[in-house]
Amino acid sequence: MFRQLFATVTILAGLPAAASDYKPAMQDFLDSQVIDWTDSQILIDAINGQNAVTGGYDEAQVIALDQAWRSELGTSETPTVTPILTNAAADFLRERVQASGGRISEIFIMDAQGLNVAASVATSDMWQGDEDKFNKTYPAGTGAVHFGAVELDESTQRYQAQVSLTITDPTTGAPIGAMTIGVDAEFLM
């Protein structure tokens, strides 16, 4: 009871909670709700397809895509954002958000560069490659998981903790990208 009260006060006060406070709940959520669909062929195909396109991109090309994404948010012309939100993998992710009963606020997958491949909702940026959600998963290899702190998410405007993991191609056994799941903080209490 005290732990739940403390967590609620921390969230309401806007103070980020340490990931370690929620790690057991986040690990349980990952194991029971997420892991079964991380090797879905629709996600694997989407990541592999984008890796074939962006695998040779240099830093300038990645940054240009990220800047284009950011400039399009909130506008009517979204040629960079729209394909990420309207592909079959994005539909699959939205179905998972819908089926979660409010526990999941967002899901997105990234390629080997850390660029968004598909997302359930628009993220605040396209390039995740400079953030822990990518740097502590994909480069760390198969089985890598990163638990983020509970904080107010800019794109969803909800308090959430992000659970991120490496996505591995089940055919080759090679890491191909990463996935981030935003879990509503109230569910973790």
The three-state DSSP-derived secondary structure of the chain is CHHHHHHHHHHHCCCCECHHHHHHHHHHHHHHHHHHHCCCHHHHHHHHHHHHHHCCCCHHHHHHHHHHHHHHCCCCCCCCCHHHHCCHHHHHHHHHHHHCCCCEEEEEEECCCCEEEEECCCCCCCECCCCHHHHCCHHHCCCCEEECCEEECCCCCCEEEEEEEEEECCCCCCEEEEEEEEEEHHHHC
Kindly state the average pLDDT of the residues 105-118: 97
Which two structure tokens, joined as six digits, stand for 176?
């191909």
The confidence score (pLDDT) of residue 18 equals: 53
Report pLDDT for 154. 75
Query: For residue 135, is pLDDT > 60?
Result: yes
- The CATH code of domain 2-188 reads 3.30.450.20
pLDDT averaged over every residue in the chain: 88
Report the alpha-carbon distance of residue 100 to residue 33 in Å, rounded: 8
Q: The whole model's pTM is what?
A: 0.87
Model confidence at 7, pLDDT cuts 50, 70, 90, reads very low
- Closest listed residue to residue 143, CA positions, set 181, 173, 113, 117: 173
Q: For the chain, give the percent of residues with pLDDT over 70.
A: 89
Across 113-136, average pLDDT? 97
